[in-house]
Amino acid sequence: METSNKNLQNKNSHADTGDRNTNKEVIIVTGSSGMLGSALIHKLAEKYRVVGFDKDGYPFPPVEAECVCVDLTSDDRMAFAFKRLRYAYGNKIAAVVHLAAYYDFLGEPSDLYDKVTVKGTERMLKYLQDFEVEQFIFSSSMLVYKPSSPGVLITEESPLEPKWDYPKSKVTTEKVMHEKRGEIPVVMMRIAGVYSEEGSSIPITNQLQRIYEKQISARLYPANTAHGSTFVHRDDVINAMVLAVEKRNDLPKEVVLNIGDEETLTYQELQDIISTAIDGKKSPIIHIPKWFAKVGAFMQNLVGKAFIKPWMIDLANDHFEMDSSKAKKLLGWKPKHGLRDTLPKMVENLKANPEKFYRENNLNK
């Protein structure tokens, strides 16, 4: 998308003189106004000159980054963005951190997965071929893997079996990166579900809401409660990306890295920790048949916008337990947070200001 006048005149813009005389290396962050993008820019700006690639209009990237408006689905607007980039910053790019992608939890087919995530990434790589790019980091997902079982760790070599459109688009995009990267070194980070003290994780915050509001659905579950999924704190993801940038000259030309917590909590453990933090006692879970859960989810979505959709019921028994030792070895990365210790802090923020917590996590009242 063409850069608007406000962006060209932004105090962070160097459109008149260019930014080639600075000693800071240039990094592009796509999806720069998002939860991960904003936090990453705050961190990178301490050392690098950061350019945020994002859609036109609100929300905007942090002020530490110049906003260059783009549309990943448009050749013309992408070409303009890179022309703007070359004029202001020259031909050399230390790293591109590609966070922009399409996703939703509706479970319905959408051509935006192909247009934005797959073709948008391919378009980025095409225009980057004319620059000196030292690294391209792609944010993939843990959900690309075939589910495991408790105690069986998923490594980067584990089989892939994405089950819905979001992870399927990530697998397709990874193949595109392998085929279209040219001489650009790439890091594909398969990231676990991201959380923070403020919430940030859609599945976790919805579970928090159900328990906090004492909804009957909070006590019903159609799968094995000894199963669960790996999560990872937002700040640990940011740290992994910063380390990857710093160690870009030491990494393989193409590498896949799992990024997740060291501990994987089960659904039962999540329920116990959350209910104890909210009510001071554990909340028992009643097992229900899948067909009953699907009917309930269908009825809830008839009368409102419930988070749980019927298609999710079939995935409730999936177990994802990741091994992130490769990232520890290559990056020197280690998670500094854990979901077990962060959940009570999340509950504290919910209790302190429920309206703010609901608003910031897009929860329906």
Reading the chain (365 residues) residue by residue, the pLDDT tens digits are: 333 333 333 333 333 334 444 689 999 999 999 999 999 999 999 999 999 999 887 777 889 999 999 999 999 999 999 999 999 999 999 999 999 999 887 777 899 999 999 999 999 999 999 999 999 999 999 999 999 999 999 999 999 999 999 999 999 999 999 999 999 999 999 999 999 999 999 999 999 999 999 999 999 999 999 999 999 999 999 999 999 999 999 999 999 999 999 999 999 999 999 999 999 999 999 999 988 888 887 777 776 677 778 888 999 999 999 999 999 999 999 999 999 999 999 999 999 999 999 999 999 87
For the domain 5-195+230-259, what is the CATH code? 3.40.50.720
The four Cα atoms 327, 330, 336, 342 give a dihedral, to 10 degrees, of -10
Predicted pLDDT of residue 304: 66
Q: Domain extents for the chain?
A: 5-195+230-259, 203-229+264-318+339-354
Return the SS3 of 269: helix
Predicted pLDDT of residue 68: 92
- Other C-beta atoms closer than 10 Å to the C-beta of 310 total 17
End-to-end CA distance of the chain: 35
DSSP letters spanning 68-100? EE--TT-HHHHHHHHHHHHHHH-SEESEEEE--
Q: How large is the C-alpha radius of gyration of the chain? A: 21
Which pTM does this prediction carry?
A: 0.91
Number of residues in the chain: 365
Predicted pLDDT of residue 18: 45
Query: CB of 167 within 8 A of CB of 144?
Result: yes
Round to whole Å and give the CA distance between 346 and 245: 30
Amino acid at site 151: G
Predicted pLDDT of residue 22: 62
User: Which DSSP state fits 3?
Assistant: P
Round to whole Å and give the CA distance between 105 and 78: 28
DSSP letters spanning 327-343? HHHHH-------HHHHH
Predicted pLDDT of residue 303: 67
Closest CA to 320 of 235, 260, 268, 271: 260
Query: CB of 174 within 8 A of CB of 129?
Result: no
Which residues are within 8 A (CB) of 246 and not within 5 positions of it... i.e. 6 or more apart? none
